[in-house]
Structure 1
Amino acid sequence: MSPVSSNAPHGQSPLRTVQVLGGGNAGSGVHVRSLAAGLVARGVRVTVCAPAEADRAYGFSGVGADHVHVPRSSDPGSVAALRAACTDADLVHAHGLHASFRAALALSGRSTPLVVTWHNRAHAEGARGHLLRMLERRVVRAAAVVLGTTSDLVDRARRTGARDARLAAVALPGTRQPVDQDEAELLRSKVRAELGAMGRPLLIAVGSLDRHRGYDHLLDAARAWCRLDPVPLLVVAGEGPLRPALQRRIEDEELPVRLLGRRDDVSELLAAADLALLPSSWESRSVLAQEALYARVPLVATAVGGVPDLVGDAAELVAYGDARALAAAVVRLLDDPERCAELRERGARQAASWPTEDETVAQVLSVYDELTQPRPLP
């Protein structure tokens, strides 16, 4: 796709956008950084409103965007700070439900267009679930356009009352280029030795230790692998509230599982693995699924949310909560190198079909152009 012009049209001032992010999970934080970099390169003035720790983590300032510290939603001053930051904006683009709700409040009474990107779905039940659904309704009715990272998020926005909901093009920035094969094999051996996975299959799952990730079913499946020879080792990279309960199960049932905690070397762990596992109850554009296919690591995942559309026929898909099916899929792949080789090739083709960063920025700019009028120079 041809790049968008980096200069504002003659006689117009540059478009000024404000990107609003809450704490930001890895997916939305990386996306906003990539988007900010692409917009700045095309002559757009970008201000990112996010907590200071998000700027330190994702480096918005480092790609030419202005950063304004806006506290998290629990801070009573966050809406006022955001309203001040959006005063001269031509358009505001908020990412995630809580950031979008605060942006809607900050823009109340103003004509500034609001674009919202839903990167994920809130996981809550009972009173909190009811509250989140109320926030969703308020957000989609305030937004000029809602961009959903999966088709079911787009459908959800439409059912909730969105005037205009579209599928978002979302790239996975920073995809690594192929490295020297000898170096890759040395790193693979080093990682496997450190994990205690020499001479045995290595399985990996990545994600916060929360209920919706499906790790209880993953541990159920791990019991079946104990009968294999050699016994595979499952490592889980991530931290969260379920860690004590999961660790007790691992110890009580003597499961071949290690909880690694939060790691900053997930790409190296993934490159060393024989299989990647994604047992969640719901995912949008799973970062693990994308990285696994890019790294040519066979993936076993649940057929939920945006996963089927994302991976196509390049992964083994099972029903959420079916530990037997999950265990069986893993056993089959470990015993079928030809099927694994086929999935690697399919994964490479599927990954090549995903949007690039340029395409992602171009789509967002086209939405901005629809919603903004020419801006005469002062």
Structure 2
Amino acid sequence: MRIVYALGTSTGGVGTHVRALARDMAAAGHEVGVIGPAATDEHFGFSLLPGVRFACLELGTGIGVGDAALVRRQRSLLRSFDAEVVHAHGFRAGLITLLTLRTLRTRPRFVLSLHNRASGQGLRAKVETRVETMLARGADLVLGASTDLVDRAKDLGADDARFLPAAAPQVEPVSAEAAAAARARLAAEYGFDEGAVIVLAVGRVARQKNYPMLVRALGRLREAGDAESALVVLIAGAADDAVLAEVRTQYEQLGPASAIPALHFLGARDDIAELAATADVYVLTSVWEARALVLQEALIAGKAIVATATGGSPELVGDAGILVADDDDRALAEAVAELASDPARRAELGARARARAAQLPDEREVADKLVSLYTELLSAQVG
């Protein structure tokens, strides 16, 4: 089977998912191409994967006059790949792919994966809805990384929309000794006691992650008294500078640092597995997530999880964590306070997390499911 994946700029879950698909499809003997920006290839190394051809297409983030050139470039690439299936990931890659396919006399089957929901307001929201509708109705198959995305595609007129998860990469276990050493290094670097309860959040410091909710919760923990004085909160991830400055200012305005749990921004890290192993509580405060890879990694690591009940997080976590309403800092503070003071409860949720993780499909299983979907589409086309 000849398969081409198209994606835009990515440094996180989408790129990780597409890399796994390209790797596993090529390993299974399929002819695989990937089309995307050079920076995305540099980050994920598509062009280094055995049996995978990468071609550069500099997809920007906004619709503009340059889109005509992108369509011409992609049309040439698809002809050179002689693709039977083109699988675009995300709105931007999906739009350019749809426009490209409309220029082809003989077109491959078009699969669209949705990993995020549209979040614009006002005029932008209207434009996004029109693009969503075009994509839902123009794709032969729409795949949603969470069931709410599948429902959205169906509401907009998709003939065929189904759920397909993005699986977390395999995580190498971190030994107790390595976790203890990592905790000691963190404590020394950031000046906290090694016995502190570590609350970890992993994710880019950006609007969608809603770290202001976490900061407000820290203010409420101050109100709870001395019981939470041994808490330390670590946020690991690259940052939008403006958002980071706002969150820092918000935290500083809570009052004297000695009266509230310490908060440290670790920046982009390549040791997330070790960080997760050191954590006592894992927190996700996002406004919305489809199927967060970081939540899957927390489940695999057996962490006590507190997450906002938005998007696909409730169906992913189930009863293996504490779910709180979007932007409910009071509920977040109460959940963190409970877990900070109750090691047995943390251990219970950690055991549930491991059990839940054992039920999740891995990358190979997701790729196998996708092969069956591609085969179904091509068979229907022949019929």
TM alignment of 1:73-152, pairs within 5 A: 73=60, 74=62, 75-76=66-67, 77-87=69-79, 88-110=82-104, 111-152=107-148
For the residues of structure 2 that align with 1:33 and 1:146, how far apart are their CA atoms?
19
**Is it true that 1:30 corresponds to 2:16 in the alignment?**
yes
For the residues of structure 2 that align with 1:165 and 1:39, how far apart are their CA atoms?
22
Q: Would the aligned equivalents of 1:169 and 1:363 in 2 still touch at CA under 8 Å? A: no
What SS does structure 2 have at the residue aligned with 1:372?
helix
Is 313-322 or 195-204 further displaced after alignment? 195-204
Of 4, 28, 43, 1:57 maps to 43
Q: Which amino acid aligns with 1:181?
A: A
**Is it true that 1:203 corresponds to 2:199 in the alignment?**
yes
Q: Would the aligned equivalents of 1:148 and 1:168 in 2 still touch at CA under 8 Å? A: yes
- The residue aligned with 1:338 is 344
Shift of 1:373: 5.0
Q: Which amino acid aligns with 1:304?
A: T
Is 280-289 or 260-269 further displaced after alignment? 260-269
Of 158, 168, 175, 1:172 maps to 168
- The residue aligned with 1:268 is 274
Q: CA, structure 1 residues 373+86, in 2 after alignment: closer, same or farther (shift >3 Å)? A: farther
Shift of 1:318: 0.8
Is 149-158 or 125-134 further displaced after alignment? 125-134
**Is it true that 1:186 corresponds to 2:181 in the alignment?**
yes
Q: CA, structure 1 residues 374+151, in 2 after alignment: closer, same or farther (shift >3 Å)? A: closer
Shift of 1:149: 0.8
Over residues 322-357 of structure 1, what are the superposed CA-to-partner deviations in whole Å (9 max), with x where a residue is unaligned? 111110000001111111111111000100111112
What SS does structure 2 have at the residue aligned with 1:221?
helix
Shift of 1:189: 2.2
Of 296, 302, 317, 2:308 maps to 302
**Is it true that 1:225 corresponds to 2:221 in the alignment?**
yes
**Which ranges of structure 2 fall in alignment gaps of 5 or more residues?**
none
Superposition CA RMSD, Å: 1.9
Shift of 1:375: 12
Using the aligned pairs only, state the percent identity.
38
Shift of 1:269: 2.1
**Is it true that 1:234 corresponds to 2:233 in the alignment?**
yes
Over residues 1-57 of structure 1, what are the superposed CA-to-partner deviations in whole Å (9 max), with x where a residue is unaligned? xxxxxxxxxxxxxx2111001002411101111000111011111110011111111
- The residue aligned with 1:282 is 288
**Is it true that 1:245 corresponds to 2:285 in the alignment?**
no
Q: CA, structure 1 residues 179+262, in 2 after alignment: closer, same or farther (shift >3 Å)? A: closer
Shift of 1:358: 1.7
**Is it true that 1:355 corresponds to 2:347 in the alignment?**
no
For the residues of structure 1 that align with 2:185 and 2:307, how far apart are their CA atoms?
27
What SS does structure 2 have at the residue aligned with 1:358?
helix
Is 164-173 or 188-197 further displaced after alignment? 188-197
Shift of 1:374: 11
For the residues of structure 1 that align with 2:233 and 2:92, how far apart are their CA atoms?
34
Shift of 1:169: 3.5
Q: Which amino acid aligns with 2:19?
A: R
**Which ranges of structure 1 fall in alignment gaps of 5 or more residues?**
1-14
Structure with a larger share of its residues in helix: 2
Q: Which runs of 4+ in 1 moved over 4 A?
A: 373-376
What SS does structure 1 have at the residue aligned with 2:208?
helix
Q: CA, structure 1 residues 354+203, in 2 after alignment: closer, same or farther (shift >3 Å)? A: same
Shift of 1:192: 3.1
